[in-house]
Amino acid sequence: MSPERLAIHTFTNKPWSIRECIENYARRGVGGISIWRETVAGQDLKAVGRQLDDSGLVPVSLVRGGFFTGKDSPTREAAIATNREAIVEAEALKLPMIVLVCGATLGQTPEENLDQIREGIAAVLPQAESAGIRLAIEPLHPMYAGDRSAVASMRDANDLAESLNHPLVGVALDVFHVWWETGLEAQIERCAAADRLFAFHVCEFKPDFDHVLLDRGLPGEGVNASARIARMVQAAGFTGLTEVEIFSRKYWAENQHDFLEKIITSCAPL
């Protein structure tokens, strides 16, 4: 696809400030942007919002809310408060969606984590409704199921969204996290049929990764699942921008303009 069908996550170009991300994406003809809370921490959100308006970039997602689990009630309440702040930020930046990395606490069972996640999302839903902000549950690869997300497959994400059954609660599918899943096509169809396929992220899993978080690949690298899954998502009727979310110490060490070109080239066949 052409650059105007892409939205890039600011964390993909971690060395760039929010101003540089907006400028460079717009200049290169990228269609949209998803903004990491880390990238705008301490910034004047109104000024960022004005720059974003002027840029013509489509605002896609605020990344990220979630982390709803915890051993005790004060911890979980604090997480809910943080998610409420994220909704305020998303409103300020006119981002219509928040991606949720739902959380997992070491020593809790998947079921305990999922119950706490369900309660956390339900607790912030009234404010999301007032703001008109969509909440996208992102299933994470099971290598993160111990401490980042008990939602570890599209099947899990669909089950969770279905149990909450709210038009503002859907799913953000990231190739990096679900390429391994058997029956994936059926889960994507199930998600889309329920109007819950809110977002599609590309990023490749490299079986020989040298860091559990920060060695991710461009479309075509590693297990090379982006094109296959893009076809499934398109066949299921997804028409949103394709988001590029890649964490990589290797690519962060390069000139970020060169990396942006590599992103655009690698996404062209999708």
Q: Which is nearer to a second copy, 110 or 240 (CB)?
A: 110
Helices 73-92 and 45-55: crossing angle in degrees, nearest 10, is 50
Question: CA-CA distance, 161 to 262, in Å (whole number)?
Answer: 34
DSSP per position, 67-121: ----SSHHHHHHHHHHHHHHHHHHHHTT--EEEEE-B--TTS-HHHHHHHHHHHH
Binder of a second copy out of 19, 46, 71, 228 (CB under 8 A): 228
Regarding beta strands 197-202 and 242-244, do their DSSP bridges make them parallel or antiparallel, or are they unpaired?
parallel
Question: CA-CA distance, 217 to 20, in Å (whole number)?
Answer: 22
Binder of a second copy out of 91, 156, 243, 245 (CB under 8 A): 156
Regarding beta strands 32-36 and 97-101, do their DSSP bridges make them parallel or antiparallel, or are they unpaired?
unpaired
Q: Which is nearer to a second copy, 96 or 146 (CB)?
A: 146
Q: Which is nearer to a second copy, 156 or 243 (CB)?
A: 156
- What are the CA-CA distances from residue 264 to residues 39, 173, 203 (Å)? 22, 20, 13
CB of 185 vs a second copy, minimal distance in Å: 9
CB of 215 vs a second copy, minimal distance in Å: 11
Cβ-based neighbours of 215, under 8 Å, separated by 6 or more: 206, 209, 248, 249, 250
Query: Could you say whether residue 3 binds a second copy (CB under 8 A)?
Result: no
Stretch that binds a second copy, among 32-40, 73-81, 85-93, 155-163 (CB under 8 A): 155-163
CB 214, CB 170: distance < 8 Å: no
CB of 201 vs a second copy, minimal distance in Å: 17
Query: Could you say whether residue 176 binds a second copy (CB under 8 A)?
Result: no
CB of 158 vs a second copy, minimal distance in Å: 11
- State the CB neighbour count (10 A cutoff) for residue 20: 14
Stretch that binds a second copy, among 32-40, 50-58, 104-112, 188-196 (CB under 8 A): 104-112
Query: Could you say whether residue 181 binds a second copy (CB under 8 A)?
Result: yes
Binder of a second copy out of 11, 16, 67, 179 (CB under 8 A): 179
Angle, alpha carbons 197-198-200 (nearest 5°): 85
Query: Could you say whether residue 270 binds a second copy (CB under 8 A)?
Result: no
Question: CA-CA distance, 31 to 26, in Å (whole number)?
Answer: 7
Q: Which is nearer to a second copy, 41 or 106 (CB)?
A: 106
Q: Which is nearer to a second copy, 134 or 201 (CB)?
A: 201
Site string for a second copy, 119-148 (x = CB under 8 A): ----------------------xxxxxxxx
User: What is the CA 227 to chain-centroid distance, rounded?
Assistant: 18
Binding site for a second copy (CB under 8 A): 106-107, 109-111, 114, 141-148, 150, 152-153, 155-156, 159, 179-182, 184, 205-209, 212, 222-224, 228
